[in-house]
Structure 1
Amino acid sequence: MYGNVAHNIYAQNNVGIESPAKLIEMLYEGVLRFNAQAKKAIKDGDIEKRVYWINRSVAVITELIAVLDMKGGRVAQYLEGLYNYEIQLLNEANLKKDESRLDEVSNVFKGLLEAWRETTNVAK
């Protein structure tokens, strides 16, 4: 359900995506952007926006799970577990209005984004 939503959002906004690698980078960036918006909503006490932005992050992470190549071995399995854990943290952040859980997810995705950029730049 969420996966198609995330893909459609990015596809609509970025019709000329260069490559699947670029799409993954944009999805990671989306999680960071949506988490920042959710954190602001928590600070502002805006329940509707908090739920909206956290759900957007969950949708993106769900899409990341959907595109994993499970034939890729342990890395794909690790990422699947990591992504599911991040979704759990986002749900807890939503229920408990907990900015620290949002920060934890954002820190993980900052690291993933940096590693992804390094990996895809080397591959080019």
Structure 2
Amino acid sequence: MNYTALRSRYVDDTVATASPAKLLTMLYDRLVLDLTRAETEQRAGDRAAAGPHLTHAQDIVTELAATLQLDAWDGAKQLMSVYTFLLTELIGANVAGDADRTAACRELVEPLRDAWHQAADELARTATPLEPVAAATAARPFGELGVG
């Protein structure tokens, strides 16, 4: 297997086994990375290189909006408004090649990313740890699991 295939498999496995909170923080981390890269390319005058980063950022925001449960908490509708605003700005930044607009999007997203990281860390600290599989099955008599 070549490096690209191994990296792709690693990413796929990481995403497949991540908790919902971890997935959310991974999306926000990548969103900030895409915005940073796009801004750098725009400031260098390379709109063609910035485009894929901005398009990927739009894909992430679209996914965040699509999975947001509007009735789950009081601030969900306001967060959806932020996502809608971000999509509009990202499209405009891409069309115009506007690094300042891209930077403004990044500056809006960074505190959200930090807040989600803080919430995920708090959730991890207060969550009840799961019993390891080996410990859960070790004391059971033969046949109890329906295998023998």
- Shorter-chain TM-score bucket reads 0.7 to 0.9
Partner of 1:76: 76
Which amino acid letter does the alignment assign opposite residue 26 of structure 1? M
1:45 to partner: Cα distance: 2.3
Q: CA–CA distance in 1 between the matches of 2:18 and 2:73?
A: 26
Distance in 2 of aligned mates of 1:70 and 1:34: 26
Partners of 1:95 and 1:47 in 2: how far apart?
Answer: 9
Distance 2:94 2:58 in 1: 11
Identical residues among aligned pairs (%): 23
Distance 2:76 2:103 in 1: 24
The alpha carbon displacement at 1:57 in A equals: 0.3
Per the alignment, in what secondary structure is the counterpart of residue 72 of structure 1? coil
Q: Which has the higher helix share?
A: 1
Give me the TM-score of the superposition, normalised by structure 1.
Answer: 0.82
CA distance in 1, matches of 2:62, 2:82: 12
Aligned to 1:18: 18
TM-score by length of 2: 0.70
| Number of equivalences | 115
Whether 2:47 is the aligned partner of 1:65: answer no
Q: Which runs of 5+ in 2 are unaligned?
A: 1-7, 125-148
In 2, the alpha carbon distance for the partners of 1:57 and 1:67 equals: 16
Q: Higher relative contact order at CA 8 Å, sep ≥6: structure 1 or structure 2?
A: 1
Q: CA deviation at 1:12?
A: 7.0
Cα shift at 1:11: 8.9
Distance 1:46 1:100 in 2: 14
Task: Report the CA distance between 1:74 and its aligned residue.
Answer: 3.2
The two structures, once aligned, show a CA RMSD in angstroms of: 1.9
CA distance in structure 1 between the aligned counterparts of 2:122 and 2:40, rounded to whole angstroms: 35
The alpha carbon displacement at 1:73 in A equals 4.0
1:101 aligns with 2:78: no
In structure 1, stretches of 5+ residues that fail to align are: 1-9
Superposed CA deviations along residues 16-66 of structure 1, whole A, max 9, x for unmatched, are 343010111011111111111111221232232222111000000000011
How many angstroms apart in 2 are the aligned matches of 1:99 and 1:88?
15
Decide which structure has the larger Cα Rg and report it: 2
In the aligned structure 1, how far is the partner of 2:100 from the partner of 2:89?
Answer: 10
Inter-partner Cα distance in structure 2 for 1:74 and 1:109: 19
